[in-house]
């Protein structure tokens, strides 16, 4: 009997010690505020209402990871589970980190629900920095499979056609050229300075001025503005292009004043037959400005001074139907009629009126 009482007394002391230790640990490392002690997650909805979500309910409504936390959607309602510090740190590296930060990333301490949201958002991402990287929900590793919904160019550059990606993220150290987009499905671009994406075009800001680097493959219309240079072959990926607005003809480099230079693959000019409408807003229009552009139907050089337009500039445009230009003595095939535009330019038409130029 004495032995049993002593054992019970020892167990009681041990249990009391465990409870005391648990109280100390809880005080030092409290549960995240969004995960309550009853196992529910607190969600704040866009309309300001708040709900307590079970793991199953939150997982079923989970959209993915956002910077502020796990995003939920239930019908038309959108909600957010606020982020824990560890989640915020992991998200920041996955969304903005360098290759070194990615390779050292450890998701330990992130809750299972947060990890599921991060996987849903970044599981179909591939990072490129001389080789391919992927994230398995716990760490970033070197990957042989490059196919993904999103590609992040962190350092260097590579062809994107085989990835099947529809979204491209450009980090500051990326080295993008237009040929990398040829044959790809890229339709959306998120760019960090010095890159920028505006109106289906990707630009690079340099000390000498803004450069047009590439047009997006699926673009049917493209208006280039505020660019001092246009890379040779910059529009080569744009195989479905129908209309184009440029600040000048050519690339802006000395002697490169041919529109077709923007569609050069290095050995040939590949101006798409779909391209029918072009507007040149400035610069000069040389005698060979539209060489290789026989499919053009409508051209406007309104904004270019008459003395900067060569009369023979449009001779290569055999399918031309409408020309809007400040110069009157341009050389054109038979069959054109001339009218005056309100801006003072001359409009030459053949076959139909100038509805679009």
Q: pTM of the entire structure?
A: 0.81
- Strand spans (E) along 97-173: 125-129, 132-135, 140-142, 150-155, 167-170
Closest CA to 236 of 206, 210, 201, 211: 201
Provide the pLDDT for residue 90. 96
- pLDDT > 50? residue 250: yes
- pLDDT > 80? residue 333: yes
- Bridge partners for 211 per DSSP: 204, 229
In this prediction, residues 104-113 reach a mean pLDDT of 91
In this prediction, residues 5-18 reach a mean pLDDT of 47
Provide the pLDDT for residue 255. 64
Closest CA to 223 of 238, 233, 209, 208: 238
d(CA 226, CA 350): 33
In this prediction, residues 207-236 reach a mean pLDDT of 95
d(CA 89, CA 282): 48
Pairing of strands 69-74, 62-66: antiparallel
Higher pLDDT, 350 or 32: 350
d(CA 26, CA 237): 58
* Whether the Cβ atoms of residue 326 and residue 301 lie closer than 8 Å to each other: yes
d(CA 137, CA 55): 18
Q: What is the share, in percent, of the chain residues with pLDDT greater than 90?
A: 77
d(CA 172, CA 129): 12
* Whether the Cβ atoms of residue 93 and residue 108 lie closer than 8 Å to each other: no
Higher pLDDT, 307 or 83: 307
Closest CA to 208 of 228, 231, 225: 228
Provide the pLDDT for residue 272. 96
d(CA 311, CA 328): 8
- When pLDDT is cut at 50, 70 and 90, the band that residue 316 belongs to is confident
Closest CA to 322 of 271, 288, 285, 357: 357
- pLDDT > 80? residue 3: no
């Amino acid at each position: 009997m004495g032995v049993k009482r002593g054992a019970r007394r020892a167990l009681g002391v041990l249990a009391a010690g465990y409870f005391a230790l648990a109280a100390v640990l809880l005080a030092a490392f409290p549960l995240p505020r969004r995960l309550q002690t009853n196992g529910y997650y607190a969600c704040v909805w866009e309309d300001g209402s708040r709900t307590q979500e079970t793991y199953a309910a939150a997982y079923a409504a989970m959209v993915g990871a956002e910077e502020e936390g796990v995003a939920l959607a239930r019908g038309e309602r959108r909600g957010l589970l606020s982020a824990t510090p560890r989640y915020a740190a992991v998200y920041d590296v996955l969304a903005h980190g360098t290759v070194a930060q990615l390779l050292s990333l450890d998701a330990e301490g992130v809750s299972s629900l947060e990890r599921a949201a991060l996987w849903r958002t970044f599981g179909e991402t591939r990072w490129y920095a001389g080789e391919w990287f992927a994230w398995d929900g716990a760490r970033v590793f070197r990957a042989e499979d490059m196919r993904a919904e999103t590609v992040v160019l962190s350092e260097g550059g590579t062809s994107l056609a085989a990835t099947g990606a529809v979204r491209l993220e450009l980090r500051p150290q990326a080295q993008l050229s237009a040929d990398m987009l040829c044959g790809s499905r890229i339709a959306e671009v998120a760019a960090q300075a010095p890159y920028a994406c505006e109106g289906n075009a990707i630009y690079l800001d340099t000390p000498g001025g803004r450069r047009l680097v590439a047009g997006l493959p699926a673009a049917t219309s493209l208006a280039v503005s505020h660019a001092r240079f246009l890379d040779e072959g910059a529009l080569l990926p744009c195989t479905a292009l129908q209309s184009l607005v440029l600040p000048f003809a050519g690339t802006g480099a000395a002697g490169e004043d041919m529109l077709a230079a923007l569609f050069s693959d290095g050995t040939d000019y590949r101006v798409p037959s779909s391209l029918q409408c072009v507007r040149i807003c400035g610069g000069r229009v040389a005698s060979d400005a539209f060489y290789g552009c026989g499919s053009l139907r409508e051209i406007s050089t309104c904004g270019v001074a008459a003395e900067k337009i060569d009369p023979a500039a449009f001779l290569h445009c055999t399918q031309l139907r409408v020309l809007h230009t400040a110069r009157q003595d341009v050389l054109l095939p038979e069959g054109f009629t001339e009218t005056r535009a309100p801006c003072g330019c001359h409009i030459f038409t053949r076959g139909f009126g100038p509805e679009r130029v």
